[in-house]
Structure 1
């Protein structure tokens, strides 16, 4: 039998549920779920939920969750739930998806001593544990509001979008509690709970611990090769600088590896020849934080209208204008909904009379009216 942390399986799945936005709570989309399971104990080592399609970032943040101590938000009435496992897997079993074959993923695994084992074609059992975990998790998802079930046949006439009510954060909180419930449920293959198997096999002492978790996360982030010049680095039409660049430029660094987090492009990390990681920020620190998706959308808008490359100033101007339009749209949507709520109360929009719901005087002298027995709750009085 394998030892804890010896073999870990990772995979993605599109969750069988529609989630809502946090502002208007209107239906948005189905989220993607990335899970990592320890084969020996069936303990879930890490999880990551996002609306974005699987990518190197999904793997990065799932592995980041694997090596960090887990913090679970629970209702105040519950005690802190025990979710063990924080360490570096010895080997990772993955499928042959492009994200698992990226240079960033393979180089980071080599850096941290993680062996990669790709699933051979037709050898389904290589990923059997993670697939069963995904199936178990989706079975629990199917009882949530907004579920799409596993097929149109199973869903029937259930209106998933109309019943959707959970945000991404709420779904993530639910998922973590569900994982803790699973950890404490007897597993038929183990003949015990995953947490019991973890304890029996010495899971707490099995994996190598990460001292610098930020360094671990950065190493798995997507990367690009860029020229380091006298004015710094330009990445996706944005300029970056760090005082640490000066000696590197003096030595003629040339092209360097640049790591970035697509969710927040206000900071990047440059990997030096001697393996150090140097953080760099916007050259213009007055710029707001933007995502790579906002940057790409702004660049596409400019290219469609004008062609050519976009300048940094215009890039941020387009992003800020799009944010202003989106904010105004949200405000108009809220105002429209409030107007709709007010309409029945306006003088010109009174609802039609419904006599059946109104009260009228009754002619009690009419002998043909039905009579009803009246219960005497006081009962007979006792003699004193």
Structure 2
């Protein structure tokens, strides 16, 4: 017969053990956690009884605890217990008599009887360890109010997801303030540390480093992606490069940005885009162009050039991305779907789904940290190094250096590829597809590129279309003056834009054909920061003059208002005196006024003769 579930039983629920604290007639039972005060109700059919002899269980735990404590503080007691256990075991096996046992133990009959009663074959020597005098290890002597204060402080900080959690010292300061306001003695740092450790390793790490790093370190990371061959799936991501570049005159300029696309099967860097502007839809477009086509005709910022060592390209079947705005735009999704590239967004908060591309970025940034002008990855590593002062590489020089580092990366053995180099895996997979295999090539490169190029909405004016403080004009715009249309542009060359009409793209060049073409990076880095809005005060001292003028106007308005109020008061007083001087006072005293009816309360009063 199965034992019934009653209050005090231990039961298992969802692979955890809880204690039953209440049973109800409707079949529900209340379970309480063994680690906290949390309790909840479930049906008894959802739990399994854990059959434990409670007294024996507690004895085992107590004796094991004593054994562990003795291991740390008293090896002599352990030796005595082990020797006694061996002799008692011989007695139970019939090897020695009772008298011989008493003699070997060197104890009295009463002591021997007590030891035989205490001895447990399952615990062995542990059951014979003598209790330790003094306070037990991990015993708590603080008052209930002190324990509650520490528990409240720790729980509040661990559950606070609105900001990064403070370090342990800040937690103790918070407890210290709570105790002082409540007139309670503040617990020691060690006491608070032990209470924090009771919340688990995750809680300690979260408090010291923040919730997000804790999740990355301790959270289970399922969801590995299996790819059959190269170009099955790629991953794309951005990062700000940890180095300050300088202009052609040696003046420190800014940190460039990198957008990189990698092939998951071979770990080859399929394409990348180096730019001076922050990541956006155009960064995605340029990186995709670099990945999908041979690089010879591309500029060095996309890994190209006539002598480029970058020979890897191809249109992928799927692309893994995070949830940034430039990756989730409907325009990008439509373009990817049109070219049968499946967009795969990472689950929010699951960085490990993009682990491959992030590791490669980390590897490349490690090389960047050896360059002059590096900012390193954090302020601790940077220390007192002046990055701007030591900057020495121009953007073009950095692009060339980066292209060489990518070539070196492709030729190095990779631990994740069974010590093969990325180019070896790529070539092996290409060989499986057949001799002289060539990846599928889009039929019209210009259309493919324009489809991925970023677009902007602009109103067609009589002078043309304005973009980046330049005007573009063409005969095709004549019938669209006043209309707001979408235009495509090439971030590498802003000398022309494109309008899509009737299924094809129409080229629209600069209105000023003598204007020197610039790239979007050049415009953003050099023109935009120094641009002035119309009406900007160039002389900074005039800001004070502007404030004085504003105050002058306000004072004038207040003065004029007071003058008009005074004039109105004087006019009212004059009219009153004039009325009284012509007998108005007598009329009022005689009551010769006509009372207005209830429906004439809003009408002007009329005096009778």
Superposition TM-score tier, normalisation by shorter sequence? 0.5 to 0.7
2:444 corresponds to: 212
Tell me: CA distance 1:54–1:170, structure 2 relative to 1, closer, same or farther (3 Å): same
Q: Counterpart of 1:215 in 2: which secondary structure?
A: helix
1:282 corresponds to: 510
CA contact (8 A) 1:185 1:193 kept: yes
The CA deviation at 1:227 is: 5.2
Deviations 1:288-322 (A, max 9, x none): 546664786798521547xxxxxxxxxxxxxxxxx
Q: Counterpart of 2:260 in 1: which secondary structure?
A: strand
TM-score by length of 2: 0.44
How many Å separate the matches in 2 of 1:236 and 1:33? Answer: 22
Q: Is the aligned partner of 1:50 residue 2:275?
A: yes
How many Å separate the matches in 2 of 1:47 and 1:106? Answer: 20
2:338 corresponds to: 111
The CA deviation at 1:187 is: 0.8
2:252 to 8, 27, 33: 27
2:356 corresponds to: 129
Q: Counterpart of 2:415 in 1: which secondary structure?
A: coil
- Identify the range of structure 1 (286-295 vs 257-266) with the bigger mean alpha-carbon deviation: 286-295
After superposition, where does 1:1-384 map in structure 2 within 5 Å?
1-22=227-248, 24-71=249-296, 82-191=309-418, 192-202=420-430, 205=437, 207-226=439-458, 233=465, 235=467, 239-245=471-477, 249=479, 255-261=484-490, 264-272=493-501, 274-289=502-517, 293=524, 301-302=533-534, 304=536
CA contact (8 A) 2:295 2:308 kept: no
The CA deviation at 1:55 is: 1.1
How many Å separate the matches in 2 of 1:212 and 1:170? Answer: 32
- Paired positions, count: 296
CA contact (8 A) 1:11 1:94 kept: yes
1:333 corresponds to: none
How many Å separate the matches in 2 of 1:295 and 1:146? Answer: 23
Structure with the greater relative contact order (CA < 8 A, sep ≥ 6): 1 or 2?
Answer: 1
CA contact (8 A) 1:64 1:213 kept: no
The CA deviation at 1:101 is: 2.0
Tell me: CA distance 1:8–1:206, structure 2 relative to 1, closer, same or farther (3 Å): farther
The CA deviation at 1:49 is: 1.2
The CA deviation at 1:87 is: 1.9
2:194 corresponds to: none
Tell me: CA distance 1:206–1:242, structure 2 relative to 1, closer, same or farther (3 Å): same
CA contact (8 A) 1:86 1:209 kept: no
The CA deviation at 1:178 is: 0.8
CA contact (8 A) 1:67 1:213 kept: no
How many Å separate the matches in 1 of 2:492 and 2:233? Answer: 30
The CA deviation at 1:90 is: 1.5
Cα RMSD over matched residues? 3.2
1:365 corresponds to: none
CA contact (8 A) 1:17 1:30 kept: yes
Deviations 1:202-236 (A, max 9, x none): 28847432343333222222213445688764556
How many Å separate the matches in 1 of 2:377 and 2:528? Answer: 34
TM-score by length of 1: 0.68
Deviations 1:187-211 (A, max 9, x none): 1111111111101112884743234
- Identify the range of structure 1 (105-114 vs 225-234) with the bigger mean alpha-carbon deviation: 225-234
Q: Counterpart of 2:534 in 1: which secondary structure?
A: helix
The CA deviation at 1:184 is: 0.8
1:322 corresponds to: none
How many Å separate the matches in 2 of 1:263 and 1:182? Answer: 26
Tell me: CA distance 1:297–1:189, structure 2 relative to 1, closer, same or farther (3 Å): closer
